[in-house]
């Protein structure tokens, strides 16, 4: 008997010590140096609902990535056909995601078939039609290739967003994929939510396009858009009034260069006007390309287009070979800094849509913590007092069990680096309710046994034994539901299930071993005539 008491008491104490060691990093800040060397540093994190922050769910429009891959194929094919002097028209992506090619004679058809077989074996012929000596092809992408493009769009998008967030400087961000094409972004404690959304949600596709000066902008605005050109707008803010107008540009559709050749982008300030701008550095390929583009188009206008907005369209004065360029517009310093960040981090392979945005300001978060904490303290005092009043010294034991429970649970949560959210706290409340219930069940049983005239020791033993199965049954039932909720639930429901299932398991231990061992100890040391219960 004595050995068993020693063993159980030792186990209880060991777990208590372990829990406290795991809890220290959460409670003490900063940790002493020697601690971080040998002992755990995992912390319980507070969820965004408690400490404030931003929770975004982004949907990657993967279809757009497939479309731009198709566009790329179409323009490549067009180039190849032009180079080989194969007469063709309508080489373009169709709205339903195929590439159409119209060949003007039979010879062209033969030569095109050859090119297709040699270079574009991965594009299947979806339909083929011959009419009036012309040949109409519809090519389609292998669904597996499309799938791979979609998957890589999500993966790359995730990387890019992580890059941007890192450069923006947010402590402990969470950026993970969710489902097939969703990305979950959590930014705790963020101060400027609008700015963060701009930074994350922006596609940041930088393109250099020539201004179409052979055709008239007026005609195009009337609806006579020349093939191969497009109208894009520049937002111009009037300096004095702040009124924003949109200035149209007629641009060649084809981008001469895109932002993937950048090595660096920085916010700088023009000394003479005190005006922020973004300087760009190209890699060697980009530098060569830019050199070539500027050399071939001197005195023409080159538009700098970001996400289909024209930022500026300066005239190329001379060949530029240094591998540098700049974007100016009427930026504030923050806008220029953020633009530099997104350009450095690179473009998203496909646009993203924000489908869920939950932002909790730091003031509400703090408010919730303070009030929740106060309520928890008041509730605990009430329960502790009630148990002592109702069950006397035994009630004190129940309070001890409650203390063990809470410390064990918090220690376990800390060791798992769990994130505590409001639903998680609900789970803890339920678990603590069950912990109290376990003790009430035992004490009521003991009272019954005492009423039957048993000795203190007999009453304690049979009370425990009889309550044991009730406790196991009610805990296992709860555990089953909690585990299933964990498996199938999402977000908040999961948070609830984690704390509840942990709490239930811990409670089984602490009520069946933690308190019983003290009863046994007292009974072993002296024969109690009366039990304060």
Partner 1 sequence: MGIELLGKTNFDFIGKRKYAFILSVVLVALGIFAMVQLWRGQANLGIDFAGGTSVQLKFEKPFQLDRARQVLEANGFKDSELQQFTEGNKLLIQIKKAAGGERVSDKILAIFTKEFADNKFVVDSTTEIGPKVGKNLRDDALIAILVSAIGMIIYIAWRFEFSFGVAAAIATFHDVVAVLGIFFILGKEVNLLLITALLTVAGYSLSDTVVIYDRIRENLRLRPRDFLGDVMNSSINEVLSRTLVTGITVFLVLLALFFFGGEVLHDFSLALLLGLAIGTYSSIFVASPIVFEWRKGKKVKIRTRR
Residues 105-164 that bind partner 1 (CB under 8 A): none
189 binds partner 1 (CB under 8 A): no
> Shortest approach of partner 1 to residue 496 CB, angstroms?
5
Burial 141-171 (b: 16+ CB within 10 A, else e): beeeebeebbeebbebbbebbbbbbebbebe
Q: Residues 195 to 214: which contact partner 1 by CB under 8 A?
A: 197
CA–CA distances in Å: residue 135 to residues 31, 88, 112, 130, 201: 75, 9, 10, 5, 43
Nearest CB to partner 1, comparing residues 259 and 351: 351
The whole-angstrom separation of Cα 28 and Cα 26 is: 6
Residue 184 sits in the site that holds partner 1 (CB under 8 A): no
309 binds partner 1 (CB under 8 A): no
Q: Of the ranges 79-87, 144-152, 314-322, 380-388, which one interacts with partner 1 (CB under 8 A)?
A: 380-388
Strand ranges in 240-371 using DSSP code E only, listed in sequence order: 244-252, 257-258, 262-270, 275-282, 302-306, 309-312, 324-327, 352-360
What's 246's DSSP letter?
A: E
Q: Does 429 bind partner 1 (CB under 8 A)?
A: yes
Binding residues among 331-370 for partner 1 as defined by CB under 8 A:
353-361, 363-364, 367-368, 370
Asked, as a colleague might, if the bond just before 345 is cis with ω within 30 of 0, I would say: no
Residue 17 makes contact with partner 1 by CB under 8 A: no
Helices (H), 136-283: 143-168, 193-201, 217-222
Least Å distance between CB 375 and partner 1?
Answer: 4
Q: CA torsion angle for 397, 402, 408, 411 (degrees, to 10)? A: -130
Is residue 448 at the binding interface for partner 1, with CB under 8 A as the rule? yes
Report CA-CA distances (Å) from 397 to 394, 474, 510: 5, 21, 11
d(CA 280, CA 125): 42
**389, 453, 526, 529: which one binds partner 1 (CB under 8 A):** 389
Q: According to the binding rule CB under 8 A, does residue 383 interact with partner 1?
A: yes
State both tokens at 436.
């109290």
One residue of 125, 476, 524, 527 binding partner 1 per CB under 8 A: 476
Contact flags string 497-516 toward partner 1, x per CB under 8 A: ---x----------------
- Which DSSP state fits 126? E
Closer of 17 and 355 to partner 1 (Cβ): 355
**226 or 489, CB closer to partner 1?**
489
Smaller CB separation from partner 1, 75 or 359: 359
Contact between 379 and partner 1 by CB under 8 A: the answer reads yes
Task: Tell me if 503 sits within 8 A of 481, measured CB to CB.
Answer: no
Identify residues 62-81 at the interface with partner 1 (CB under 8 A).
none
Nearer CB in complex with partner 1: 197/261? 197
| Minimum distance of partner 1 from residue 344's CB (angstroms) | 25
| Residue 213 to residues 79, 298, 301, 378, Cα–Cα distance (Å) | 22, 13, 8, 76
User: Of 412 and 436, which CB lies nearer to partner 1 in the complex structure?
Assistant: 436
């Amino acid at each position: 008997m004595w050995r068993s008491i020693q063993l159980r008491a030792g186990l209880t104490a060991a777990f208590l010590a372990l829990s406290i060691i795991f809890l220290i990093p959460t409670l003490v800040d900063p940790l002493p140096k020697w601690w971080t060397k040998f002992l755990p540093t995992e912390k319980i994190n507070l969820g965004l609902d408690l400490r404030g922050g931003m929770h975004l769910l982004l949907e990657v429009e993967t279809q757009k990535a497939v479309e731009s891959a198709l566009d790329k194929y179409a323009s490549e094919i067009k180039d190849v056909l032009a180079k080989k002097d194969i007469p063709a028209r309508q080489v373009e992506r169709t709205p339903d995601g195929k590439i159409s090619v119209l060949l003007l004679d039979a010879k062209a058809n033969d030569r095109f078939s050859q090119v297709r077989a040699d270079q574009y074996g991965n594009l299947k012929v979806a339909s083929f039609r011959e009419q009036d000596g012309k040949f109409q092809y519809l090519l389609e992408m292998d669904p597996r290739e499309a799938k791979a493009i979609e998957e890589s769009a999500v993966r790359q998008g995730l990387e890019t967003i992580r890059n941007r967030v890192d450069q923006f400087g947010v402590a402990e961000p969470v950026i993970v994929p969710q489902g097939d094409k969703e990305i979950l972004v959590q930014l705790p404690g963020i101060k400027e939510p609008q700015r963060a959304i701009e930074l994350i949600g922006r596609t940041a596709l930088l393109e250099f396009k020539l201004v179409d000066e052979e055709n008239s902008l007026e005609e195009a605005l009337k609806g006579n858009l020349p093939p191969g050109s497009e109208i894009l707008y520049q937002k111009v803010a009037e300096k004095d009034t702040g009124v924003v107008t949109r200035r149209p540009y007629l641009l060649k559709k084809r981008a001469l260069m895109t932002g993937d050749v950048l090595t660096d982008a920085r916010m700088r300030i023009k000394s003479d006007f005190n005006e922020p701008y973004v300087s760009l550095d190209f890699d060697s390929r980009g530098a060569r390309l830019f050199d070539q583009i500027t050399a071939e188009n001197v005195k023409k206008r080159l538009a700098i287009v970001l996400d289909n907005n024209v930022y500026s369209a300066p005239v190329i004065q001379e060949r530029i070979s240094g591998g540098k360029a700049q974007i100016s517009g009427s930026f504030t310093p923050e806008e220029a800094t953020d633009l530099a960040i997104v350009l450095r981090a690179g473009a998203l392979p496909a646009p993203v849509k924000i489908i869920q945005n939950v932002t909790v300001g730091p003031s509400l978060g703090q408010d919730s913590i303070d009030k929740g904490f106060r309520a928890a303290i008041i509730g605990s005092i009430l329960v502790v007092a009630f148990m002592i009043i109702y069950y006397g010294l035994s009630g004190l034991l129940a309070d001890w069990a409650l203390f063990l429970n809470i410390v064990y649970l918090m220690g376990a949560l800390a060791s798992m680096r769990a994130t505590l959210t409001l639903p998680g706290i609900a789970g803890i409340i339920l678990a603590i309710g069950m912990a109290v219930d376990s003790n009430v069940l035992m004490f009521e049983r003991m009272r019954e046994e005492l009423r039957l005239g048993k000795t203190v020791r007999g009453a304690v033993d049979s009370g425990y034994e009889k309550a044991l199965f009730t406790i196991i049954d009610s805990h296992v039932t709860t555990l089953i539901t909690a585990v299933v909720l964990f498996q199938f639930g999402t977000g908040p429901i999961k948070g609830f299930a984690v704390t509840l299932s942990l709490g239930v398991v811990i409670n089984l231990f602490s009520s069946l071993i933690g308190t019983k061992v003290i009863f046994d100890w007292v009974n072993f040391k002296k024969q109690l005539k009366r039990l304060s219960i």
